[in-house]
Amino acid sequence: MRRLLCRLSAVAGLLLVGAAPPPPAPTPAAVLAAAPAGAWARVAPDDLLVMELGNGARVAIALAPEFAPLHVAAVRRLARAGWYAGTAVQRVQDNYVTQWGDAGDASPPPAGAVLRLPAEADRPAAGLALVPLPYRDSFAPRVGLVRGFPAAAAGGRAWPVHCYGMVGVGRELAPDTGDGRELYAVIGHAPRALDRNIALVGRVVAGMEALAALPRGTGEMGFYATPAERLAVRSIRLAADLPAGQRPAFEWLRPDSASFRAWVQARANRQDAFFTQPAGAIDLCNALPPVRPVAR
C-alpha cells in the first residue's frame, strides 16, 4: 500500500509539472480591446456640446436629458442662440470645480429663455434604465449606470452622481435658480454631498485636461479676482449644428453589455503583474463607462 501511494504521488507530481499554468486574468485594457462593435453606443449629435476655449482647447460634453430635461433644453437653447460666445471661465477651485458662463457682465439671455426652472436634482426611478453595480456605496443603497452616466437610487427616486467630469448647473441658494447660464465641471474628488442638491446635465467626454489644468482662482471659492485672469469661452455649440467636417463623434461602452461587466470585474479585481492585492470592489465614480472617439 505504501509503495502504491508513493507511485500515485509521483505520477501526480509529474502531471502537475507538465500542466499548463492557468491563463492570466484579463486586464481592463484587454477587455476594451476585445469589446465588439455592438458593445459600444454612439453619443447623439443633439446630445453633444462642443466648447471652444480662448486658448484653443476643445471640450466635449455629453448631455443627460433623462435626468434634467428642462435644464438640458435650456442649455441647448442658449447654445443654439450663440449666447455662450464671449462668456468666460470665472472660477477654478482646487479639487472641486471649474465654472464658466455668466459672470454678471454677460449679455442678456436670448428671447424665450426660462430664467427659473424646477430644481431637477432627482427624478422618479421608475422608467429609468439603471444598470446596477454589484458593489456597495456610501451614499445610496443602489448605484449604477444610465447610458454613460453614474446614478444612484433610493426610496423610488433616482439621481445622477457628482463624479469627476460631471457637469452641473450653477445656481443661487434657492434650488430653482439655475437656468443654464452658469455651468461647472467637477475637477476633483467626487463631491457626493452635492448629489440631489444641484441639477446635473452631462459629463465631459473629451478635453477634461483643458478644464482641470487651469490656474486656480485666488479669490474666495476659487473665483478669479480680476476679469483679466478669466479664460474666454469662444463658443459652445451642439455637435449637430456644426459643419460635418468639424463635428466630433464619440461612443461609450454600454453598461448593459457583457464587455462592460467584464471590464468592471477586471477593474475591481486587478490581477495585473503590478497588483499584489486585488481590491474586490470598485467605487461608482471609478466605473464610468469608457469613452472613445470615432470616425464621423
Helices and strands (H and E) in the chain: how many? 5, 16
Cβ atoms of 254 and 289 within 8 Å: the answer is: yes
| Confidence (pLDDT) at 233 | 97
* CA dist 284 → 36, 136, 138, 271 (Å): 24, 9, 10, 20
Exposed / middle / buried, residue 88 (Cβ in 10 Å: 0-12, 13-18, 19+): buried
Whether the predicted pLDDT of 40 surpasses 80 = yes
Cα dihedral 273, 276, 279, 280 sign: positive
Mean pLDDT computed over 127-135 = 96
Q: Per CATH, the architecture of 45-241 is what?
A: Beta Barrel (2.40)
Average pLDDT, the chain: 91
| Confidence (pLDDT) at 14 | 45
Whether the predicted pLDDT of 195 surpasses 60 = yes
| Confidence (pLDDT) at 106 | 57
Whether the predicted pLDDT of 115 surpasses 80 = no
Cα dihedral 129, 150, 180, 240 sign: negative
Query: What percentage of the chain carries pLDDT values higher than 90?
Result: 79
Domain boundaries, given as residue ranges, for the chain: 45-241
Query: What percentage of the chain carries pLDDT values higher than 70?
Result: 88
| Confidence (pLDDT) at 155 | 96
Segments in 107-226 forming alpha helices (H): 208-212
Q: 66-102: per-residue pLDDT in tens?
A: 999 999 999 999 999 999 999 999 999 999 999 999 8
Mean pLDDT computed over 6-18 = 49
| Confidence (pLDDT) at 148 | 97
Position with higher pLDDT, 2 vs 141: 141
